[in-house]
């Protein structure tokens, strides 16, 4: 049996010796974690075995960590509640969404601006939270998230973008799982607006390393002391590598072992699931 310690693969029997030597030769393991949610901690409405214990160990060790999600629909409190109903206790302040990253980006680019927002409470509350006014009257930005939009709202977004509003979208994911099958996600709706307006959006969420950098800033930690844990090479590992972090790919989600070699960027480590990560 082998376990990951600070990114090193070691036999479990030499745990104490290994930890001592890691600290002794200055190869101090990163103390902080950015952890993708879907495919890493939960799958659909179910918790991935060992995820609850992993989070518990991080909390017990007072580790700095954030659970990252590209899903902009929910507020951190809503998401913490949803995870809680699955048996995963994650404090709301440990959750960081693409909606929050988008709001931070707006705040840094144009403080106290205006935006027309297509999205649900996770996005609108994050944008209100930075002092923005949400309006369809000559806004600085059109911000697209996820939700049930009608053609009238999409048409309004298209006209505002065509008229010169900057076009932001929370995440490039084209689709996601829904009740009864696939549902279009932000990336698909963004393509719709782009096709009609002729203006491409700027996507803030993963794999944009801006999402990771914003999360690092939120935690007030540095990339070199932080590990990105994710299940998807094209988003989590790509963004983690580009943000200068060590990365751990878990095989409990999207990417399977045989796919990894195809990518030009590689994870630092690969494990079956978060149950194999010792923190």
Would you tell me which residues interact with Mg ion (CB under 5 A)? 36, 38-39, 231-232
Q: Nearest to residue 269, comparing CAs of 242, 243, 251?
A: 251
Specify the residue, 140 or 173, whose C-beta has the smaller distance to Mg ion. 173
Phi, psi of 267 (to 5 degrees): -75, 155
Helix axes of 151-162 and 186-197: crossing angle, nearest 10 degrees: 50
Region of 131 on the Ramachandran plot (φ > 0 left; ψ -120 to 50 alpha; else beta): left
Least separation in angstroms between CB 163 and Mg ion: 36
Specify the residue, 197 or 232, whose C-beta has the smaller distance to Mg ion. 232
Least separation in angstroms between CB 40 and Mg ion: 6
Least separation in angstroms between CB 161 and Mg ion: 29
Name the active-site residue from 36, 52, 236, 276: 36
Alpha helices in the chain (DSSP H): 15-24, 51-60, 76-86, 98-109, 121-129, 151-162, 186-197, 209-219, 238-242, 257-260
* Cα separation, 247 vs 195, whole angstroms: 35
Q: Write b or e for each residue in 171-199: b if 16 or more Cβ atoms lie within 10 A of its Cβ, otherwise e.
A: bbbeebeeeeeeebbbbbbbbbbbeebee
Q: Nearest to residue 97, comparing CAs of 118, 67, 64?
A: 67
Residue 36 annotated to the active site: yes
Q: What would the two tokens of residue 153 be?
A: 């709202």
Least separation in angstroms between CB 177 and Mg ion: 12
Specify the residue, 38 or 140, whose C-beta has the smaller distance to Mg ion. 38
Neighbours of 236 (CB within 10 A): 31
Specify the residue, 231 or 276, whose C-beta has the smaller distance to Mg ion. 231
Specify the residue, 197 or 255, whose C-beta has the smaller distance to Mg ion. 255
Least separation in angstroms between CB 73 and Mg ion: 16
Specify the residue, 194 or 242, whose C-beta has the smaller distance to Mg ion. 242
Name the active-site residue from 38, 52, 231, 276: 38
Least separation in angstroms between CB 170 and Mg ion: 15
User: Any idea which residue has 């890493």 for tokens?
Assistant: 40
User: Any idea which residue has 């989070």 for tokens?
Assistant: 55
Q: Which residue's Cβ lies closest to Mg ion? A: 39
Catalytic center residues: 36, 38
């Amino acid at each position: 049996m082998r376990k990951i310690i600070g990114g090193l693969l070691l036999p479990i029997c030499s745990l104490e010796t290994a930890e001592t030597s890691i600290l002794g030769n200055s190869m101090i393991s990163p103390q902080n974690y950015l952890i993708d949610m879907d495919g890493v901690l939960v799958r659909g409405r179910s918790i991935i075995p060992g995820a609850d214990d992993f989070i518990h160990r991080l909390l017990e060790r007072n580790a700095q960590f954030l659970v990252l999600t590209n899903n902009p629909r929910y507020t951190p409190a809503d998401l913490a509640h949803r995870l809680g109903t699955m048996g995963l206790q994650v404090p709301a302040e440990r959750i960081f969404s693409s909606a929050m990253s988008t709001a931070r980006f707006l705040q840094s680019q144009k403080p106290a601006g205006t935006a027309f927002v297509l999205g649900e409470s996770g996005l609108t509350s994050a944008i209100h939270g930075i002092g923005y006014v949400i309006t369809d009257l000559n806004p600085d930005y059109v911000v697209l998230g996820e939700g049930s939009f009608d053609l009238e709202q999409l048409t309004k977004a298209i006209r505002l973008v065509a008229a010169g509003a900057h076009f932001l979208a929370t995440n490039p994911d084209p689709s996601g799982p829904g009740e009864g099958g696939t549902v279009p996600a932000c990336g698909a709706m963004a393509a719709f607006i782009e096709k009609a307006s002729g203006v491409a959006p700027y996507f803030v969420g993963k794999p944009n390393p801006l999402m990771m950098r914003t999360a690092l800033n939120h935690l007030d930690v540095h990339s070199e002391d932080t590990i990105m844990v994710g299940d998807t090479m094209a988003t989590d590992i790509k963004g983690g590598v580009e943000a200068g972090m060590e990365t751990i790919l878990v095989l409990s989600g999207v990417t399977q072992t045989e796919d990894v070699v195809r990518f030009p960027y590689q994870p630092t480590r690969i494990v079956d699931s978060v149950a194999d990560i010792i923190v």
